[in-house]
Amino acid sequence: MLLRRALRATSQPPGWLALALVLDAAVAITVISTGQRINLADLLAAGPLLACARCSGRATAFAAIYAISLCAIVAAATGVWGAMGTGYRFIIVGGVGAFATFAAAVRSRREGALISISEKAQRAILHPLPAELGGVAFASHYQSATTQALVGGDLYDIAMTPFGMRFIIGDVKGQGIDVVDWSVAVLAAFRAVAFGEPDLIRLAEAMDTRLSREMELEDFVTVIVAEFTPGHVGIVNCGHPPPVKLAADGGCLQLMIPPEYEPPLGLHPHPRRQDIGLGPGDRLLFYTDGLIESRDRAGRFFALDARVAKALAAPDLDTAVRRVVSLLLEHAGGTLADDVLLVLGEPAAAVT
């Protein structure tokens, strides 16, 4: 029971705590089997030290108690209980265990504060989309690949401009807090240009110019910039996975492959505009590459097949998105290797 509680308390997978316990057990077995009575028992302090690097304070405390218990077992098994030096070993193992527990508790509190900050930053970057804007209804979902919901590179935004309702979805290269600055920079560039540039292609090129000034050679961000008008949507794709369309009459999903592949922002794309018909009842799914690059245990990628088409045909957009996420998690065995962002749009007049 105590071990189960300790495993639940650790902020990382229980394998790290198990490694610390196995290490101490190996030390104890070695000392007992070889009859060594000097110094080797002090190595039992290694378990708590290993645990404090990744585990919570409670889990590290369990490792410390475990190490002291093994120290007592070793002393009894080797016949040195009460001998000179035995108390010294208990002090060493117990002192190191106490220090490791304190260090783990401090580290866990700091990690918790960082996670809280990252979650607030994530909400600022992925703020909820309006249910309807510019005659188009939306539903979205962000699925983090990390249990702590750390910020990833996925982003989106929407704006009602003088040229119509415009939307961006993107994915910054990299993971974690390091990509926050670039996610914010991409959204700021979109907002700065979207309200003043009537041409969608020049909008993307202007964003690339702004971002490239600060990007290193290996930095980039894939994006789709879309402009919704009655009956159709124009998109410019810069290295991003193409959206899929589900017609109102159902059937197979249509992959909206761009006329030519263009590199992401930061690599100086010169994209072409692609116009897609979007009539009443038609639905268009935008997503990041975490969706199609998710693998199952056999290594197969997630397919945008008939099951996804059926899920997207659900009575309402929110249900459709939830069903796609369920299919994805089932395919991936409940664990994702990359963050996933889904945005589903449909002409609002068709929504009941």
Q: What pLDDT sits at residue 271? A: 93
Tally of structural domains, the chain: 2
Domain enclosing residue 33, as ranges: 2-120
Phi then psi for residue 69, to 5 deg, are -65, -45
Least confident of 21-35, 40-54, 168-182, 335-349: 168-182
340 and 273 together in one domain: yes
Residue 7 pLDDT exceeds 70 = no
Q: What pLDDT sits at residue 9? A: 40
Residue 12 pLDDT exceeds 60 = no
Q: Which residues of 194-206 are buried (b: 16+ CB within 10 A; e: fewer)?
A: beebeebbebbbb
Quick: pLDDT tens for 265-293.
Answer: 999 999 999 999 999 999 999 999 999 99
How many Å is the Cα radius of gyration of the chain?
A: 28
Select from 266, 234, 245 the least CA-distant residue to 153: 266
115 and 251 together in one domain: no
Q: What pLDDT sits at residue 36? A: 57
* Confidence label for 20 from pLDDT (cuts 50, 70 and 90): confident
Please give the average per-residue pLDDT across 29-47, as a whole number. 74
196 and 81 together in one domain: no
Please give the average per-residue pLDDT across 11-22, as a whole number. 73
| Residue at which a domain ends, from 89, 120, 151 | 120
Position 120: which residue type?
Answer: K
Pairwise CA distance, residues 306 & 60, whole Å = 49
Residue 101 pLDDT exceeds 50 = yes
Q: What pLDDT sits at residue 75? A: 80
* Confidence label for 151 from pLDDT (cuts 50, 70 and 90): low
65 and 179 together in one domain: no
Whole-model pTM: value is: 0.71
Pairwise CA distance, residues 225 & 44, whole Å = 58
Quick: pLDDT tens for 220-234.
Answer: 999 999 999 999 999
Quick: pLDDT tens for 167-193.
Answer: 999 998 866 566 777 888 899 999 999
17 and 98 together in one domain: yes
156 and 264 together in one domain: yes
44 and 143 together in one domain: no
CATH number for the domain spanning 319: value is 3.60.40.10
Give the CA distances from residue 340 to residues 47, 52, 226, 262, in Å, rounded to whole numbers and listed in that order. Answer: 37, 32, 19, 22
| Residue at which a domain ends, from 97, 120, 143 | 120
Pairwise CA distance, residues 190 & 6, whole Å = 47
Tokens of 141: 């979902």
Q: What pLDDT sits at residue 245? A: 96
Quick: pLDDT tens for 186-214.
Answer: 999 999 999 999 999 999 999 999 998 88
Pairwise CA distance, residues 226 & 223, whole Å = 10
Q: What pLDDT sits at residue 229? A: 92
330 and 193 together in one domain: yes
Pairwise CA distance, residues 235 & 257, whole Å = 11
89 and 183 together in one domain: no
Give the CA distances from residue 142 to residues 145, 150, 163, 304, 324, in Å, rounded to whole numbers and listed in that order. Answer: 10, 12, 28, 18, 12
Question: What percent helix, strand, coil does the chain show, rounded to 5?
Answer: 45, 20, 35
Q: What pLDDT sits at residue 291? A: 94
| Residue at which a domain ends, from 74, 97, 120 | 120
Quick: pLDDT tens for 103-150.
Answer: 988 888 887 776 666 666 666 667 788 889 989 999 999 887 765 555
Give the CA distances from residue 130 to residues 107, 127, 160, 230, 343, in Å, rounded to whole numbers and listed in that order. Answer: 39, 9, 11, 18, 11
155 and 196 together in one domain: yes
Phi then psi for residue 29, to 5 deg, are -65, -40
139 and 105 together in one domain: no
Answer for the pair 154, 224: CB distance below 8 angstroms, yes or no. no
Answer for the pair 10, 29: CB distance below 8 angstroms, yes or no. no
Question: How many residues are given for the chain?
Answer: 352
* Confidence label for 259 from pLDDT (cuts 50, 70 and 90): confident
| Strands lying side by side in the sheet with 154-161 | 154-161, 164-172, 221-229, 232-238, 273-277
Percent of the chain with pLDDT over 90: 46
Q: What pLDDT sits at residue 150? A: 53
Q: What pLDDT sits at residue 84? A: 60
82 and 170 together in one domain: no
- Please give the full DSSP string across 51-69, using - where no structure is assigned: HHTTS-HHHHHHHHHHHHH
| H-run or E-run covering 96 | helix 86-125
Give the CA distances from residue 199 to residues 189, 225, 271, in Å, rounded to whole numbers and listed in that order. Answer: 15, 11, 12
